[in-house]
Amino acid sequence: MLIDLLWRSLLNRRGTVLLSVLTIGLSVALLTGVEKVRQDMREGFFNTVSGTDLIVGARTGQVELLLYSVFHLGSATNNIRWQSYQRIARDSAVEWAVPLSLGDSHKGFRVVGTSSEFFERYRFGHQHQLQLSSGRTFQGIHEVTLGAEVANRLGYQVGDQLVIAHGLGSTSFSQHKDQPFTVVGILAPSGTPVDQSLLVSLESITAIHVGWRAGVPMPGLSVDANKLAEMELTPKEITAVLLGMKSKTQVFQMQRAINGFSGEPLLAILPGVALQELWQVIGTAEKAMLAISACVVLAGLTGMLGVLLTGLQQRRRELALLRAIGASPLHLLSLVVMEAMLLTAAGIGFGLSLLWFALILAQTGLYETFGLYLTLGWPKELWQILALVFAAGTLVGILPAWQAWRYTLADGLTPRT
Amino acid sequence: MTTSHTVEIDRLAFGWPNMPRALLDIPRLQIETGGSLFLRGPSGSGKSTLLNLLSGVQGGYSGSISICGERLETLSAHRRDQLRADHIGLIFQQFNLLPWLSPIENVALACRFSKRRREKAKVSGGTVAKEAERLLRELGLGEVVESRRRTSSLSIGQQQRVAAARALIGNPELIIADEPTSALDSEHRDRFIDLLMAETRASGASLLFVSHDASLASHFDRTLELGATTGNSEEALTC
Ligand SMILES: Nc1ncnc2c1ncn2[C@@H]1O[C@H](COP(=O)(O)OP(=O)(O)OP(=O)(O)O)[C@@H](O)[C@H]1O
Ligand SMILES: [Mg+2]
């Protein structure tokens, strides 16, 4: 019954009112935005290798295997023999197997030796496939397809030549100088570790190590390209295998079989389970982010409290007047609480439109610069967040309302200002 | 209870907790229907305090106060608020109006908390807004209505007349005016009092008029003097 009066009163004070709606809106946009980024990052993280059923490597911890095979962090202590790979790949339950050979680098970026099936089988996000932004995928030896960030940071274009270093240090002394690679294609950003990789064929990896023994080039043993073409370049060892099964029901059976493999000690992991374990470690950072933005909302609400309290001092006469025409203290109390609720609601509305607008604007930019793919949609559990903010806003209104209550009882009909 | 008296006070005593002696001590006071009382006293004599008691926003007194036959001390706070909304029209010295409402809306405001006054205003004017407009015209504010003036642009005298219209709308039984003329010059003051008296008489309401200016007493049926520091009143007073 007082809502129209409240509206007119707010219109009259629109300057300060607008300002507090703005602050609440900004903080709500920040909170929901952080939550959105957090959820999409998490989603993206868990879907880094979304199409793969099993990852196989030499026996080690499951997080270690995940780290070096997918995220290219650390290195494998042992390799898988080519024969073992072939036996697994030929199993009737296996639909596809993509070998990975890691261990070389270029200016700090990892070189990944693999089959060309990699481009077809590797999936991220919701079953997204890798896309080329220019050129083509590698085919012959000494051809390389670059991840988006590699090309971007090092300024490579299709047709450029580069030299791969032996080992993983960015200032490795041993360079495969005699066998330069040609950039034949550049991938579009995917937000996965592929962006930071140089993809070459397994044969290329073998080729550059021809004439090397125990990590150093043997003098007089270097080979020229013509000879290489005639050589048998099938690798003897690889680092890891990505497996896709024909049926999901066979995944566990296959995992057990590989873990008990007779030829050599192997480990097969479910990517989802290993990612979950890894997230336990790095997920705390996101929680900290959320906590900080919750503090920002608190700051926004404190700003509103200030607006309400100073407004109340000015409105003391207004309240006394309403009291004189028959308003009870409860009326006036509810008027002030309602004001806080209205401001919070307006702030939430403004914040949400701001978030949506920012999402539209940031979507492509974030994807291209950070590989962070934001979907155009509200964060999950949005209602819980908003309900919490609204409840906090209402609670903030209680303090000035209580103050108004005290004023009306102390003032009677004549306000003391 | 007789209903021929709008206000009846019986052995009323009231003091603020921090005061050594009672501020108000009124053995007996009655204002009959249609009657007018001039309440006079120097600053600090408790005039505003008495109005707070009469309008039911201040309790903690001894004795009894009846408004339109209802004994305030027997009513709940909520019922006292309702009684004030229904039966009392108040005019203050200043800050009578909400500057962000139009003059007509300010007048209509008095009907917002009282169904009784709303109904009466509708009977008299058709709608609350029309009745508010009629009262403003009667109080000589036709020009204000016509030119849709903003409340904040009105002169003090005009504002006080808008406040008077608000007190009068819906025919409450008691009009209480707390120094409504202290911001007006003598010419406007006399005009305002005459107008207020005429309108109250026309609506059949009783009027309680407060001022420290003794020269105004002649306008009213009776006068009640409140002493400065001695919490007293002369004698049993009936008007
Ligand atoms: N809420 C309160 N608490 C304590 N003392 C109060 C309160 N309100 C008023 N008083 C005191 O009661 C006395 C009477 O105050 P009141 O406002 O009724 O005087 P008044 O006759 O209306 O004066 P004025 O002509 O200046 O308006 C004063 O001494 C004042 O300080
Ligand atoms: Mg006073």
Give the residue whose CA is nearest to atom 31 of ligand 1. Answer: B44
Residues of A in contact with B210 (CB under 8 A): none
Place A225 in a pLDDT band, splitting at 50, 70 and 90. low
Chain-chain contact of A8 with B100 (C-beta, under 8 angstroms): yes
Min Cα separation A326/chain B (Å): 4
Compute, in angstroms, the gap from residue B48 CA to the centroid of ligand 2. 4
Residue range A51-61: average pLDDT? 90
Q: Which residue has the tokens 């997080």?
A: A63
Same domain, A371 and A257: no
Tell me the percentage of chain A whose pLDDT exceeds 70. Answer: 90
Q: Which residues contact A184 (CB under 8 A, 6 or more apart)?
A: A135, A136, A137, A138, A139, A143, A144, A145, A158
Q: What would the pLDDT profile of A150-198 be if each residue is shown by its tens digit?
A: 998 899 999 999 988 877 665 555 667 778 899 999 999 888 889 889 9
Q: How far is CA B166 from CA A51, A170, A288, B54, B129, in A?
A: 76, 85, 58, 19, 11
Query: Is pLDDT at B198 greater than 50 in this prediction?
Result: yes
User: What is the reported pLDDT for A318?
Assistant: 85
Compute, in angstroms, the gap from residue A139 CA to the centroid of ligand 1. 98
Residue range B30-58: average pLDDT? 91
Query: Is pLDDT at A220 greater than 60 in this prediction?
Result: no
Compute, in angstroms, the gap from residue B115 CA to the centroid of ligand 2. 30
Query: Is pLDDT at A71 greater than 90 in this prediction?
Result: no
Place A227 in a pLDDT band, splitting at 50, 70 and 90. low
Q: Which residues contact B39 (CB under 8 A, 6 or more apart)?
A: B47, B50, B208, B209, B210, B211, B223, B224, B226
Q: Does B16 touch chain A (CB under 8 A)?
A: no
User: What is the reported pLDDT for B153?
Assistant: 92
Q: What would the pLDDT profile of A247-301 be if each residue is shown by its tens digit?
A: 988 899 999 999 998 888 999 999 989 888 888 887 788 788 878 888 888 888 8
* First-to-final CA distance of chain B: 17
Residue range A334-355: average pLDDT? 92
Q: Does A247 touch chain B (CB under 8 A)?
A: no
Q: What is the mean pLDDT of chain A?
A: 85
Chain-chain contact of A323 with B57 (C-beta, under 8 angstroms): yes
- Nearest ligand to the CA atom of B178: 2
User: What is the reported pLDDT for A212?
Assistant: 58
d(CA A18, CA A347): 9
Min Cα separation B82/chain A (Å): 6
Same domain, A114 and A226: yes
Q: What would the pLDDT profile of A365-379 be if each residue is shown by its tens digit?
A: 776 666 667 778 888
- The verdict on the CB of residue B16 being under 6 Å from ligand 1 is yes
The whole domain housing A307 covers: 2-45+283-413
Cβ of B114: how many Cβ atoms within 10 Å? 23
Domain assignment present for residue A383? The answer is: yes
| Three-state SS at B175 | strand
Q: Does A4 touch chain B (CB under 8 A)?
A: no
State the CATH class of domain B5-238: alpha beta
Residue range B4-13: average pLDDT? 90
Q: Is residue B221 within 8 Å of residue B208, measured between CB atoms? A: no
Compute, in angstroms, the gap from residue A191 CA to the centroid of ligand 1. 73
Give the nearest chain B residue to A5 (CA atoms).
B101
Residues of B in contact with A9 (CB under 8 A): 98, 100
Query: Is pLDDT at B183 greater than 70 in this prediction?
Result: yes
Same domain, A175 and A74: yes
Place B229 in a pLDDT band, splitting at 50, 70 and 90. very low
Higher per-residue confidence, A201 vs A228: A201
Same domain, A83 and A27: no
Of A210, A66, A43, the residue nearest A128 (C-alpha): A43
d(CA A74, CA A168): 9
User: What is the reported pLDDT for A73?
Assistant: 84
Closest Cβ opposite residue B110 in set A8, A317, A325? A325
Q: Which residues contact B74 (CB under 8 A, 6 or more apart)?
A: none
d(CA B53, CA B57): 6
Q: Name beta bridge partners: B5.
A: B32
Residues of B in contact with A3 (CB under 8 A): none
d(CA B220, CA A98): 107
Query: Is pLDDT at A221 greater than 60 in this prediction?
Result: no
Domain assignment present for residue A255? The answer is: yes
Tell me the percentage of chain A whose pLDDT exceeds 90. Answer: 29
Query: Is pLDDT at A417 greater than 70 in this prediction?
Result: no
Of A108, A119, A99, the residue nearest A204 (C-alpha): A99
Cβ of A277: how many Cβ atoms within 10 Å? 14
Place A230 in a pLDDT band, splitting at 50, 70 and 90. low
Place B230 in a pLDDT band, splitting at 50, 70 and 90. very low
User: What is the reported pLDDT for A170?
Assistant: 54
Same domain, A27 and A140: no
Residue range A125-149: average pLDDT? 89
Place A81 in a pLDDT band, splitting at 50, 70 and 90. very high
**Main-chain phi, psi angles of A299, to 5 degrees:** -65, -40
Q: Is residue B46 within 8 Å of residue B226, measured between CB atoms? A: yes
Which of B14, B113, B168 to substitute to test the interface with A, most A CBs within 10 Å?
B113
Same domain, A246 and A308: no
Query: Is pLDDT at A218 greater than 70 in this prediction?
Result: no
d(CA B170, CA A366): 65
- The verdict on the CB of residue B100 being under 6 Å from ligand 1 is no
Number of independent structural domains in chain A = 2
Q: What is the mean pLDDT of chain B?
A: 88
If one residue of B16, B54, B216 were mutated to test the ligand 1 pocket, choosing by the most ligand atoms within 8 A of its CB, it would be B16
User: What is the reported pLDDT for A410?
Assistant: 80
Domain assignment present for residue A16? The answer is: yes
Same domain, A123 and A227: yes
Q: What would the pLDDT profile of A292-317 be if each residue is shown by its tens digit?
A: 888 888 888 888 888 888 878 778 88
Q: Name beta bridge partners: A209.
A: none
- The verdict on the CB of residue B210 being under 6 Å from ligand 1 is no
Same domain, A127 and A199: yes
Residue range A142-151: average pLDDT? 92
Residue range B20-45: average pLDDT? 90
User: What is the reported pLDDT for A55?
Assistant: 93
- The verdict on the CB of residue B229 being under 6 Å from ligand 1 is no
Side-chain half-sphere CA neighbours of B136 within 13 A: 28
Domain assignment present for residue A276? The answer is: no
User: What is the reported pLDDT for B1?
Assistant: 45
**The amino acid at B162:** V
- The verdict on the CB of residue B48 being under 6 Å from ligand 1 is yes
Give the residue whose CA is nearest to atom 16 of ligand 1. Answer: B46
**DSSP assignment letter at A248:** G
Domain final position from A235, A269, A303: A269
Tell me the percentage of chain B whose pLDDT exceeds 70. Answer: 94
Question: Of A117-131, A386-400, B25-39, which range is least confident?
Answer: A117-131
Give the residue whose CA is nearest to atom 5 of ligand 1. Answer: B16
Place B2 in a pLDDT band, splitting at 50, 70 and 90. very low
Closest Cβ opposite residue A413 in set B51, B81, B110? B51
User: What is the reported pLDDT for B22?
Assistant: 84
Q: Which residues contact A265 (CB under 8 A, 6 or more apart)?
A: A58, A59, A78
d(CA B199, CA B220): 14
Same domain, A33 and A102: no
Give the nearest chain A residue to B89 (CA atoms).
A325
Reported ipTM: 0.89
Which of A325, A405, A408 to substitute to test the interface with B, most B CBs within 10 Å?
A325
* Residue ranges of A 320-379 with Cβ closer than 8 A to chain B: 321, 323-329, 331
